[in-house]
Amino acid sequence: MPEIEPPSPPNGELVLKRLPGAGRGELGWILAPEGRGQGIATEAAEAVMRMAFEELGFHRIDAKLDLLSTASAAICRRLGMRL
C-alpha cells in the first residue's frame, strides 16, 4: 500500500463576504509568515474574484485590509483595485 503524506497546514485564509445591496462583496485575506511573498494571496484572490463576477453576479468587490500593510496594498493594485 502506498504511503500517503499528510496535507500541509494551511498558509492562511481568504474570505469573500456578500454585502447588503445588489452584487456587492468584500474580500479579505491573511497569510502565515511562511506563506507570504509567494503569490498565494494574489492567485487565490484572482480566482475568487473571477468566480464572484462571472458566476455569482457580483458587480463590485471591496478589499478589507490593514492600511499599514504595504503587501496587502500591493496585492490590491495587482488585482486592479483602487486604493
Question: Residue 4: inside a domain, yes or no?
Answer: no
Judge whether 7 lies within some domain.
no
Sequential DSSP letters for 10-64: P-EEEEEEEETTTTEEEEEEEE-GGGTTSSHHHHHHHHHHHHHHHTS--SEEEEE
Does residue 30 belong to any structural domain of this protein? yes
In a domain? residue 28: yes
Angle, alpha carbons 41-82-55 (nearest 5°): 60
Total domains present in the chain:
1
Tell me the pLDDT band of 8, cut-offs 50, 70 and 90.
confident
Give residue 11's pLDDT band: very low, low, confident or very high (50, 70, 90): confident
Range of the domain at 29: 12-78
Instruction: With CA atoms as reference, report the closest residue to 50 among 37, 61, 40, 41.
Output: 61
Strand-strand pairing, 60-64 and 24-31: parallel
pLDDT of 27 higher than 60: yes
CATH at residue 24: 3.40.630.30
Residue 83 in domain: no
pLDDT confidence tier of residue 2, bands split at 50, 70 and 90: low
What local confidence, expressed as pLDDT, does residue 44 receive? 93
